[in-house]
Amino acid sequence: MKPQTDDPTSAQPPNIASLDQSSCTSADDLDRGAHADLDLIEAIDSRLPQTQCARCGYDGCRPYATAIAAGRAEINQCPPGGTATIEGLAGLLHRQPMPLDPARGAEPAQAVVALIDEPLCIGCFKCVLVCPVDAIVGAPGLMHTVIAADCSGCELCLPVCPTDCISLPVRAATLPSPAAMAPRWRELHRARSIRLADDRLLLDQQRQQRRSAALQSQAANVDIAAAIARARARRSPPTSS
């Protein structure tokens, strides 16, 4: 793994005036508006810590960035980013900084990573299913372990563990810093989201195939019943009065 070192805060603020699509007059204008929206979402997302913890109320940093860009969310909903993130977003969007929304939780005092007490792990796989950055390895029925560097400290695995064998020690200084890991966490979360969407699509297709097979089978049964009825009718012609 090669952590990226680009400073996300060095990105130029987008031209927010260009985002007003009500002034678009042609398909080209609309296309430019859509790109401006994407630029803004990218710029906002690059200022978020990428722990993908969902404390902002969205399923990851990118959905939260999209909601801010659309004016559906405030800039003070990210506890892991805390004051620094609020100030970064305020500067980008030419807004006044505001205090962190206390309903989202407090700004963490230090970065943490999950640690599994392996002898207590029963291999239920529940933590793997909720980890937003695929930082847990293990197979059903087998002991699981956390890839410490990849763990964003989101804490989502804690409440699902039936044996309470996951703890959250402080992130070791020997590990890459959260800021250095942010681009990788963004990529891991994006890859996971694509995989889950593919899985959902596959399930939908399988459901559709089963439904269509059941309908065909019902139609075939109706055809057979009708054929039997016709054959019986031929064998027993109506009696003349």
- Footprint of ligand SF4 on this chain (CB under 6 A)? 48-49, 51-56, 58, 60-61, 64, 78-81, 114, 116, 121-127, 130-131, 133, 135-136, 138, 144, 146, 151-157, 160-163, 165-166
Residue 44: name the closest of 99, 97, 89 by CA: 89
Residue among 24 and 143 whose Cβ is closer to ligand SF4 = 143
Is residue 7 within 8 A of residue 46, CB to CB? The reply is no
Is residue 98 within 8 A of residue 125, CB to CB? The reply is no
Is residue 85 within 8 A of residue 107, CB to CB? The reply is no
Residue 100: name the closest of 122, 118, 117, 77 by CA: 77
Residue among 11 and 24 whose Cβ is closer to ligand SF4 = 11
Element (H, E) at 234: helix 178-235
Q: Tell me the residue length of the chain.
A: 241
Residues 6+ positions from 115 with CB-CB distance below 8 Å: 146, 148, 166, 167, 168, 169
Compute the least distance from the CB of residue 102 to ligand SF4, in Å. Answer: 14
Compute the least distance from the CB of residue 28 to ligand SF4, in Å. Answer: 33
CA distance 159 to 115: 14
Compute the least distance from the CB of residue 18 to ligand SF4, in Å. Answer: 25
Compute the least distance from the CB of residue 135 to ligand SF4, in Å. Answer: 4
Residue among 40 and 146 whose Cβ is closer to ligand SF4 = 146
Residue among 11 and 130 whose Cβ is closer to ligand SF4 = 130
Residue among 64 and 69 whose Cβ is closer to ligand SF4 = 64
Residue among 39 and 45 whose Cβ is closer to ligand SF4 = 45
Compute the least distance from the CB of residue 43 to ligand SF4, in Å. Answer: 14
Compute the least distance from the CB of residue 134 to ligand SF4, in Å. Answer: 8
Strand 145-146, strand 136-137: pairing: antiparallel
